[in-house]
């Protein structure tokens, strides 16, 4: 689960190969000055490249992406639009909004872990430990205590004195559970005004005896007009960004 730094350290692969592209040393295992064993750069690059396959899981489960994409999907459903905006647009918006929200966390990882590792001031193991701190702080700030206690109880771990000491194997599922709960709470608040419009239109059509006409066809323009008049996209994006106020 030490995936956060492994992904960030993937930036080192082009640098290492550019230094001597025709000569890659064999896999070796050395011992540092403090007696700690270290793998050769070529093996580190191999491990990093392997870790790149976990980028989708990292983006979805250890950042703000989950909450954002769920809220966007619920918003589209509340408006009654099946394919507009398309999945690609919603995913792209969620991804760049995630980069915006997570920028302070990534800056800390770059400053405290990646740059010292590039300057050979930290070993790979120390860089991973340094990078875990900001990421764990972000997830802890968004994780409910009840969810964290649930997974601690399920893991039957009694040697964790504080939430800060929780390993990623416990923290990540607790964080995702909290994100799902928060996303559905925000989605519920978004759904209410559009549901009221649907009910009003359905009542009017029923009173006029137009029972064969779908209320969604009539209510859709009114919902879009309401959403545009209140500057809905700015409100939704602003609410999502401010919901991570501890970042």
pLDDT higher for 230 or 12? 230
For position 180, what pLDDT does the model report?
Answer: 92
Tokens 């409100």 correspond to: 235
Is the previous residue joined to 85 through a cis bond, with omega within 30 degrees of 0? Answer: yes
Taking CA atoms, 168 is separated from 37, 114, 196, in Å, by 24, 20, 42
Tell me what the pLDDT averaged over the chain comes to.
77
Whether the predicted pLDDT of 16 surpasses 70: no
- pTM of this structure: 0.72
Over residues 183-242, the pLDDT tens digits come to 999 999 988 988 888 888 888 888 887 777 777 788 888 888 888 888 888 888 888 888
């Amino acid at each position: 689960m030490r995936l956060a730094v492994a992904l960030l350290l993937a930036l080192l692969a082009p640098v290492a190969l550019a230094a001597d592209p025709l000569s890659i040393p064999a896999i070796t295992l050395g011992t540092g000055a403090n007696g700690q064993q270290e793998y050769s750069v070529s093996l580190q690059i191999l491990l990093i490249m392997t870790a790149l396959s976990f980028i989708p899981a990292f983006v979805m489960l250890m950042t703000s992406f989950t909450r954002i994409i769920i809220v966007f999907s619920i918003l589209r459903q509340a408006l009654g639009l099946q394919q507009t905006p398309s999945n690609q647009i919603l995913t792209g918006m969620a991804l760049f909004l995630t980069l915006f929200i997570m920028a302070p966390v990534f800056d800390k990882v770059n400053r405290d872990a990646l740059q010292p590792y590039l300057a050979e001031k930290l070993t790979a193991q120390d860089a991973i430990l340094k990078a875990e701190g900001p990421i764990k702080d972000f997830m802890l700030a968004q994780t409910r205590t009840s969810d964290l206690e649930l997974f601690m109880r399920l893991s039957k771990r009694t040697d964790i004195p504080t939430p800060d000491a929780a390993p990623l194997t416990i923290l990540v599922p607790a964080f995702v559970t909290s994100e799902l709960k928060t996303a559905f709470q925000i989605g519920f608040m978004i759904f209410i005004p559009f549901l009221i419009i649907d009910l009003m239109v359905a009542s009017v059509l029923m009173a006029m005896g137009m029972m064969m006409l779908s209320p969604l066809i009539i209510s859709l323009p009114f919902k879009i007009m309401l959403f545009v008049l209140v500057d809905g996209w700015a409100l939704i994006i602003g609410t999502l960004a401010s919901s991570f106020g501890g970042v």
